[in-house]
A and B are shown apart, each in its own frame.
Chain A
């Protein structure tokens, strides 16, 4: 191998890290809609874990609330035969994410764990990612937020408090994933075990509707439940390849799908 080939080889390695072909971990989540009761415990847990701002009544009326995971409600049918359906909606961590291509400064990108990450420090606030996201799960900090004393005492020290002008969204509790990976490394460079890491929403779900884990491990709970015959992904026709899989038997009715 001559020097030029060696150079191009190492350059390619540098420019194209291993995870371009294969992720180290491939974090994924399944949400069993038959188990979900819509209790919003996940919403609250996320609020507490990730230092989500409390924007107040006025801002919510303007449509500026920040909820990394939200329960979407859909009514079906006419009174008195009404059905309420709901679906927790969070960042789908798409493997072909439209938001990643549009950010001019690469503030949002795909990391080696298959996560769609958001770098607050790099964000310049074009808000293009929020427009490009078909799931509408990106939230913008329209103003600086403050926590009335003593609420600021309960802020999670592992998570940034975002300033005005940056975009934010669900991270699959990346701080917990980092911690679990560090433990695993200290523990003799093993891989993170299944169930060792749980995002706040998964942890708090009383019905165990949410399952989180590494999709690359075929024995993991999440990989198994992803093979459930009820599995479907929201807006799959857009080819965003989401990492969040919903479990619900979807039947086509005469005129509209339920």
Chain B
């Protein structure tokens, strides 16, 4: 698959490196070339410097033949904007946006986008861990006492 990743932070670099290792064609966009140092040393995909909300930058990243577009910059609005450019202007079949704000995430999920909200996901994991560690021992164990 042809995959374009916008934002080469920890998540973007990791997703891109793993998909690249898995045999997909990757293209990663970031504002600064330094960010590309986060990519795995054996990364074979393309890197493009620029802002993903600029159509010309997206085009040079190969957006017109992309099967997947992943927007993972640290700005919710930029991810939402670029995701909509990818879908509305370039007909990319699968668009994934990271949105930190749960309300915005809910709105765009309802509009048919694949969204990931770290705030709700990570909170749920933490709460789950806390609840598990404070739970009374399981019924079986208590019987034995």
| A and B from one complex | no
| B residues at A contact (CB < 8 Å) | none
| A residues at B contact (CB < 8 Å) | none
